[in-house]
Structure 1
Amino acid sequence: MGMIQCISPVDGSVYAERPALSLEAAKEAVGRARKAQKAWAKRPLEERVQLVLKGVARLNEMSDVVVPELAWQMGRPIRYGGEYKGFNERSNYVASIAADALAPLVVEESDKFERRIEREAHGVVFVVAPWNYPYMTAINTIAPALMAGNTVVLKHASQTLLVGERLVQAFVEAGVPEDVFQNVFLDHETTSALIAAGSFNFVNFTGSVEGGRSMERAAAGTFTGLGLELGGKDPGYVMDDADLDAAVDTLMDGATYNSGQCCCGIERIYVHESLYDSFVEKSVAWVSNYKLGNPLDPETSLGPMANKRFARVVREQIADAVSKGAKALVDPKLFSADDGGAYLAPQILVNVDHSMAFMREETFGPAVGIMKVKSDDEAVALMNDSQYGLTASLWTKDPERAGRLGREIETGTVFMNRADYLDPALCWTGVKETGRGGSLSIIGFHNLTRPKSFHLKKVTA
């Protein structure tokens, strides 16, 4: 079989490689997961929850290995300490609601009838995780799926090849049975063949729109449940009554953190004309303070993009927009580490419009466009002028105004005075080509289980 490689963005070297499983070996792994599932589901819920939390704790103990590995694999600077804050927050929250989320819905409990709806594990859950936040995005499904009584088969992106190994290592060392949580290395062909064969009861995929389409095609006719978390082009809207400095700080961070490689990162910003000039000036100053460089250097605040081909897309979108009249405001001379490859300086464009791919297609890099608007109606129309819908960030002192506009925006999450954050108590979901389904919250547990109705008549007379 072929080798799956991780090419490090740090220096372009092959950082890790693993042989892809054959279809036969992959089927054997899934078979072990299926065989182990019933016994796992019969364990008390609290026991499953505690084993997952022990796995989380064990991974925390591995930070000295995990953090530099992430820098080598996908370029995030070590100064940010990996993904432990969000990883722990999400795991702990779903653990705290597991009993309530999975509790039966009792309709009647009388001397004549018991009628209730219980939540039953799907069976084998297949998690196909992305490289940009490889621990946090994976745990969104892994933790509640295992707690609910499913077994989990995990496949990670080649760019973060070692993450699945680390997760399974931590959970198995904490006491989760080996067949209950497995990591696999698969090529696209074998992945599609497994799904097409109905090997899994539920598949959660986080990645590109085209990747989501491939998942749907593979699952066609199998009736396999799919959760698809796909692309985004998330907007921010700064209203006339916004806290300007707070908006600049949060939106620029949301546009550039992790080199802009965030599912819910800010990719386009609309600013009321009364604040536009000040917002742009402050934003350029904010972004210009980054130190671009080797992510293993503690002084580096902006690392390389995960792969030079991802950076190429950003450069091409910027060049196209500039050729059509856009203006780039960040001086590239401030970032000597920009090598034309994976190391890419941040950028802010003005004089942009929706005829440009930069304002319509997913950029997924440290670059953002800013447009001036005159009214809420104009801003809403522009925010909705997109094939995607994951989050929208509204900046105002008026919650009623934000709620009113939020109901008009075609999106999965509406933020007011914050951005680029996943609240584990709320359902993480999207609309249009951003995908379907939802993770985390009580709804996430419901998506990882199926309802089973019990209608028990106690008397026969």
Structure 2
Amino acid sequence: MMNDIFKTISPIDGSVYTERSCADEKFVETALKNAVAAQQIWKGVSLKERKNLCTRAVEKFVAKKERIAEEICWQMGRPIRYAAGEVDGLQERALAMIDMADQGLAPIRLDKKPGFERWIQREPLGVVFVLAPWNYPYLTAINAIIPSLMAGNTVILKHSAQTPLCSERLHQAFAEGGLPESVFQYLHLTHGATERIIRDRRIDHVAFTGSVAGGRMVENTAAGRFIGTGLELGGKDPAYIREDAELSHAVETTMDGAFFNSGQSCCAIERVYVHESVYDDFLEQAVGWVKRLKLGRSDDPETTLGPMVRGSAADFVREQVCEAIGQGAVAHISADDFPADIPGSPYLAPQVLSGVDHTMRVMNQESFGPVIGIMKVGSDEEAIQLMNDSEFGLTAALFTTDIESGISLGQQIETGTFFINRCDYLDPQLAWTGIKNSGRGCSLSVMGYESLTRPKSFHIKTRL
């Protein structure tokens, strides 16, 4: 029996793209019970077999790339020309984490000690509850799903109500790949039911990607249960353009990092600091780059900037921009440049602002939309101080041809990932983590296995 029907409204045209019923208490209870029972068997399956099953699931998923891309386009508004890239990204991350499982789960063998054998091995936690967002619905989810399964945990996935088909497609792929029943499950849930599951004693870890407010909910709800919570939250990621930067590359890279996915990325570039000696040239080129974007329906192959996920999200960015202009910022994009912009709708023209400072919300509050503030600085020291002047710390980028100096500056920046001459990219071989209000915990890399397992020490006396 199911209840609480929700509808997914497509940002493309405001139509109901799909609707689903939320799981009721009986359905949730069955899922939890089955997850616990399945985990007792799954943890005994060899790592080699787990790798084979998950690899087959990835193959089944990729085989439906075109259909999945169309669904992404309609559910959350990413232009169809880019939507299939998320399938490719999932494949890259999933296979990388599968390949790293041997290393990430390998026992730690200690130096020989006469009369003793000693080692530390990694044990699965049990049942992992994954809460995935709508903006990169597959990439964010797979970061936790694959290492959880590789480690011998079972997984229950709850996706955003904006992208419910994503959890269903993942479940379908794992089922077709031969994963045993109930090792990977999904649930469509209300907020209340989600909180009840977090509090349930059968949940052993929560992996959440979303807003700071959502992260607080997870942390508060799990308080007192002594379980792990992986929290990938917001960002206000900065970039610094040094005077020796290769300017055309810096413009192309930072603007793509700011406006791809309509800026709806936790690691999007949201503020840029440019050395005064190259500031004017950078600003001119950046404005030219943005004006070449095409705002339109996501299902149009010519569109390079789709609608935001909903009108209220676009209005939030509009308010930030209007407020900044009222405080003295200069807007470089005219509404005439983007006739598809419709006030109150998800269709929002991109904006480049100069004359900004840190008293403005557009420079200190996460925008999560197609707007960038560009600020002039006089030195490396000033740039570093401004980059660190934030409640967030997910990624930061620096553009320079002096790599040695760039690395030295990177040591001073408060961030989870530091880039030189690139941005807005997750390398699955590297740890993905944030500091401050960008969250806690780590996914990807061999270190991503640590939070999804527990250490168990073996201390064996062999001589009596």
TM-score tier by shorter-chain length is over 0.9
8 Å CA contact 2:274–2:377 kept in 1: the answer is yes
1:74 alignment counterpart? 76
List alignment gaps of at least 5 residues for structure 2.
none
1:89 alignment counterpart? 92
8 Å CA contact 1:4–1:187 kept in 2: the answer is no
Write out the 4+ residue segments of structure 1 that deviate beyond 2 Å after TM superposition.
108-112
3-state DSSP class of the match of 2:407? Answer: helix
Distance in structure 2 (CA, Å) of the matches to 1:201 and 1:417: 39
Deviation at 1:331, TM superposition (A): 2.1
Distance in structure 2 (CA, Å) of the matches to 1:112 and 1:45: 30
1:12 alignment counterpart? 14
Work out whether 1:177 is the aligned partner of 2:150: no
Work out whether 1:292 is the aligned partner of 2:295: yes
Which amino acid is the alignment partner of residue 203 of structure 1? V
Deviation at 1:93, TM superposition (A): 1.0
Which amino acid is the alignment partner of residue 213 of structure 2? E
Distance in structure 1 (CA, Å) of the matches to 2:399 and 2:423: 10
Work out whether 1:347 is the aligned partner of 2:314: no
2:273 alignment counterpart? 270
Deviation at 1:108, TM superposition (A): 4.1
3-state DSSP class of the match of 2:342? Answer: coil
Distance in structure 1 (CA, Å) of the matches to 2:274 and 2:66: 42
Deviation at 1:109, TM superposition (A): 5.0
Q: Deviation per CA, 1:389-438, whole angstroms, max 9, x where unpaired? A: 00000011122212221121111010000000001111100000011001
Deviation at 1:311, TM superposition (A): 0.7
Which amino acid is the alignment partner of residue 18 of structure 1? R
Distance in structure 2 (CA, Å) of the matches to 1:231 and 1:394: 20
8 Å CA contact 1:59–1:167 kept in 2: the answer is yes
Deviation at 1:220, TM superposition (A): 0.7
Q: Deviation per CA, 1:214-249, whole angstroms, max 9, x where unpaired? A: 001100100111000001000000001101000000
3-state DSSP class of the match of 2:40? Answer: helix
Deviation at 1:270, TM superposition (A): 0.1
RMSD between superposed Cα atoms in Å:
1.1
Query: Identity rate of aligned residues, in percent?
Result: 53
Of residues 286, 304, 316 in structure 1, which corresponds to 2:307? 304
Deviation at 1:110, TM superposition (A): 6.2
Which amino acid is the alignment partner of residue 249 of structure 1? E
2:58 alignment counterpart? 56
1:398 alignment counterpart? 402
Q: Deviation per CA, 1:36-80, whole angstroms, max 9, x where unpaired? A: 002111111011012111111111111121111111100011111
1:186 alignment counterpart? 189
Distance in structure 1 (CA, Å) of the matches to 2:401 and 2:29: 55
Residues 217-256 of structure 1 correspond to what in structure 2 (within 5 A)? 217-256=220-259
Deviation at 1:23, TM superposition (A): 2.8
Residues 195-234 of structure 1 correspond to what in structure 2 (within 5 A)? 195-234=198-237
Distance in structure 2 (CA, Å) of the matches to 1:7 and 1:241: 47
3-state DSSP class of the match of 1:439? Answer: coil
TM-score by length of 2: 0.97
Which amino acid is the alignment partner of residue 416 of structure 2? G
Of residues 307, 330, 349 in structure 2, which corresponds to 1:327? 330
1:118 alignment counterpart? 121
Deviation at 1:329, TM superposition (A): 0.2
8 Å CA contact 2:73–2:83 kept in 1: the answer is no
1:387 alignment counterpart? 391
Deviation at 1:85, TM superposition (A): 2.3
3-state DSSP class of the match of 1:248? Answer: helix
List alignment gaps of at least 5 residues for structure 1.
none
Deviation at 1:145, TM superposition (A): 0.8
1:431 alignment counterpart? 435
1:373 alignment counterpart? 377
Deviation at 1:199, TM superposition (A): 3.0
Distance in structure 1 (CA, Å) of the matches to 2:133 and 2:263: 15
Deviation at 1:81, TM superposition (A): 3.8
Q: Deviation per CA, 1:260-313, whole angstroms, max 9, x where unpaired? A: 011110000000000100000000000111111111111111111111111111
The 3 A distance-change label for structure 1 pair 53 and 293 is same
Pairs aligned (count): 460
Work out whether 1:411 is the aligned partner of 2:411: no
3-state DSSP class of the match of 2:32? Answer: helix
8 Å CA contact 1:119–1:450 kept in 2: the answer is yes
Distance in structure 1 (CA, Å) of the matches to 2:201 and 2:316: 35
Which amino acid is the alignment partner of residue 196 of structure 2? A
1:457 alignment counterpart? 461
1:129 alignment counterpart? 132
Higher mean displacement: 299-308 or 125-134? 299-308
Distance in structure 2 (CA, Å) of the matches to 1:64 and 1:325: 46
Of residues 106, 110, 125 in structure 1, which corresponds to 2:109? 106
Which amino acid is the alignment partner of residue 227 of structure 1? G
Distance in structure 2 (CA, Å) of the matches to 1:389 and 1:172: 38
8 Å CA contact 2:6–2:161 kept in 1: the answer is yes
3-state DSSP class of the match of 2:301? Answer: coil
Distance in structure 2 (CA, Å) of the matches to 1:115 and 1:50: 30
Distance in structure 2 (CA, Å) of the matches to 1:211 and 1:332: 34
Of residues 352, 359, 362 in structure 1, which corresponds to 2:363? 359
Work out whether 1:448 is the aligned partner of 2:459: no
8 Å CA contact 1:122–1:202 kept in 2: the answer is yes
Distance in structure 1 (CA, Å) of the matches to 2:400 and 2:141: 33
